[in-house]
Amino acid sequence: MEKITINHIKAAKNREKIVMLTAYDALFAKLFDPYVDIILVGDSLNMVFAGKSDTLSATMDQMIYHTKAVCAGAKRSFILFDMPYGSYTTEEIALQNAIRVYKETCADALKLEGGAEKAPIVSYLVQNGIAVMGHIGLMPQHVRAEGGYKVKSDKEKLLSDAKALEDAGVFAIIVEGIKADLAKEITKSLSIPVIGIGAGKDVDGQVLVWSDMLGFFTDFKPKFVRRYLEGASLVEEAVRQYAQDVRSGSFPSEEESY
């Protein structure tokens, strides 16, 4: 299988839909690898994997650990490292952390949240050989400042942010929590791919968190999520059966014993 590179991602614009999914370990990365174009090692792992209420306490050490695991499992997909909160507050801090990502993992690029205000940081990273994906609209790292997760509708600002990031050198942008018609307009206004999450179908690709898509997260289901598996129910039933077999003495059987 040919390794997907940044050139493949950029060339997909207006040609084929880009498939992105999160992963945090080698096991799931290996399962997803044949079917997706990009695996995002998202800071959502702080909620999915660590059980926190938001993404804000994710650390560089934590993100690098999980990215190493994903890189060990995925050999074909483009691996995207999600820069955690506080890791790109200035150009110098951002570059220091980005260099660490490149040296300690096999990540192909990194992603950071923010619009025009982050353009100088993006430009600085790109000038130093770091591939960057942008992220605008609903930004999970801003959840406390904004009092929750809110759909964005400021057309002028979002179009301006998208253009500023493109001019700064990002190779693609994620738009999250944006009305479908506005996401479509942003996508048409840029020459780089736009990947949506809760942003309708008229974008260049889609990304979902794996535990949402596979039905392992059951506290609530965002409107934009389509569940392709009821994972939690299937696992619960399997564990229930295992516990019953152990307690009844039917496991292990003679065939399962040495």
Cβ atoms of 55 and 140 within 8 Å: the answer is yes
Quote the CA–CA distance of 140 and 144 in Å, as a whole number: 9
Q: What are phi and psi of 230, to 5 degrees?
A: -95, 70
Residue where the block lists tokens 């498939």: 19
Active site residues: 176
Centre a 10 Å sphere on the Cβ of residue 17 and count the other Cβ atoms it contains. 13
Strand partners, 112: none
Cβ atoms of 191 and 5 within 8 Å: the answer is no
* Three-state secondary-structure class, residue 15: coil
Quote the CA–CA distance of 29 and 201 in Å, as a whole number: 25
- Cα angle 31, 219, 66 (rounded to 5 degrees) comes to 40
